[in-house]
């Protein structure tokens, strides 16, 4: 896959002077505490999209920061315009794709996600370290923001009745239908009208991507000729996992709803539906 690398590949490239490894893990919604993995990959740096790389004025969880803020943080972390960036998390493919999509949105394409994350790395017996590494040089990274990679509520609302637009929801099916309560307090249950359910977890086997043929088949069951794909989830994290897999399948015109259900479900004036996906 073009966007994913294996643990074996990464272990063989650890001495590449252009390599920058980021841990973009997070605590799963509804669980207490801070993200504190018991081990880190060699030379790993922290990719903190909840604080250093978030727009803290938005009132929402970890919405995308400005290009200027992203540039400043990446330079402090030693990223250059010709770096090779690999992003991972403690296990599976839950939040690492968020970092991947953020780099893509900032005009940087030489970025990959580690399939299976730290769990796969350790299962193969590769070396780890206790703490994150410290960067010792300022990078020359410069963000070149791409319009539309992250979209807002208005773009999603305007797409509801557009036959060319399909919004895919990465949450679990029972959250999509409204049968299961949201992990965030005070949040309505259900989904955005005319959206379709495609749980990101259905595209994984034990935290790793399923074969591409199976992923393509999953997308083909819900996409019916639409040329514009939007992705939503609980807070704009696993929506990026769907974006990654859609890109793997060759789809274009991809957009992640940054606020996702934490915004839509918290605003009573926005329409919602419950039950299964509608016919389009």
DSSP code at position 54: B
Whether pLDDT at 117 is above 80: yes
* Tokens found for residue 270: 């926005």
Give per-residue pLDDT as tens, 34-90. Answer: 889 999 999 999 999 999 999 999 888 889 999 999 999 999 999 999 999 999 999
Detail the DSSP E strand segments found in the chain.
4-5, 19-23, 45-46, 84-88, 111-114, 150-151, 165-169, 196-197, 204-205, 208-209, 228-232, 254-257
State the CATH number of the domain containing residue 245.
3.40.250.10
Number of domains in the chain: 2
* Tokens found for residue 32: 């207490």
Among 65, 196, 233, 240, the one annotated catalytic: 233
Burial class (CB in 10 A: 0-12, 13-18, 19+), 135: middle
pLDDT score recorded for residue 28? 81
State whether 24 and 93 are in the same domain. Answer: yes
Q: 136 in a domain, yes or no?
A: no
Give per-residue pLDDT as tens, 132-170. Answer: 999 989 999 999 999 999 999 999 999 999 999 999 999
Give per-residue pLDDT as tens, 229-271. Answer: 999 999 999 999 999 999 999 999 999 999 999 999 999 999 9
State whether 157 and 118 are in the same domain. Answer: no
Give residue 174's domain range. Answer: 150-264
Mean pLDDT of the chain: 95
Is residue 233 annotated as part of the catalytic site, yes or no? yes
Specify whether the backbone of 21 is left (phi greater than 0), alpha (psi in -120 to 50) or beta.
beta
d(CA 161, CA 70): 34
Q: 70 in a domain, yes or no?
A: yes
State whether 8 and 119 are in the same domain. Answer: yes
Whether pLDDT at 3 is above 90: yes
Could you tell me which residues come within 8 angstroms of residue 90 by beta carbon, excluding any fewer than 6 positions away? 23, 25, 35, 37, 117, 118, 119
Q: 182 in a domain, yes or no?
A: yes
- Determine the average pLDDT of the residues in 96-104: 98
pLDDT score recorded for residue 29? 74
């Amino acid at each position: 896959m073009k966007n994913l690398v294996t643990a074996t590949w990464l272990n063989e490239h650890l001495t590449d002077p252009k390599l920058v490894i980021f841990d973009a893990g997070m605590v799963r919604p509804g669980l207490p505490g801070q993200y504190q993995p018991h081990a880190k990959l060699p030379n790993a740096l922290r990719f903190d999209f909840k604080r250093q790389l978030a727009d803290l004025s938005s009132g929402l969880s970890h919405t995308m920061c400005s290009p200027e803020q992203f540039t400043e943080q990446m330079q402090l972390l030693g990223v250059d315009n010709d770096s090779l960036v690999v992003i991972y998390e403690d296990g599976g493919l839950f939040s690492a794709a968020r970092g991947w999509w953020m780099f893509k949105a900032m005009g940087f394409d030489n970025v990959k996600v580690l399939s299976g994350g730290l769990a796969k790395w350790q299962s193969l017996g590769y070396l780890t370290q206790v703490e994150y590494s410290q960067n010792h040089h300022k990078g020359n990274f410069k963000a070149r923001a791409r319009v539309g990679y992250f979209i807002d509520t208005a773009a999603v609302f305007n797409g509801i009745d557009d036959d060319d637009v399909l919004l895919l929801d990465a949450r679990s099916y029972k959250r999509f239908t409204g049968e299961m309560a949201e992990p965030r307090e005070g949040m309505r249950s259900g989904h955005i009208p005319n959206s379709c359910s495609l749980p990101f977890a259905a595209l994984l086997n034990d935290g790793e991507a399923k074969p591409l043929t199976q992923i393509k088949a999953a997308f083909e069951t819900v996409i019916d000729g639409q040329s514009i794909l939007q992705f939503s989830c609980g807070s704009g994290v696993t929506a990026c996992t769907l974006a990654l897999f859609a890109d793997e399948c060759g789809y274009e015109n991809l957009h992640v709803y940054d606020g996702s259900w934490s915004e839509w479900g918290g605003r009573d004036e926005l329409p919602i539906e419950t039950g299964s996906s509608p016919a389009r």
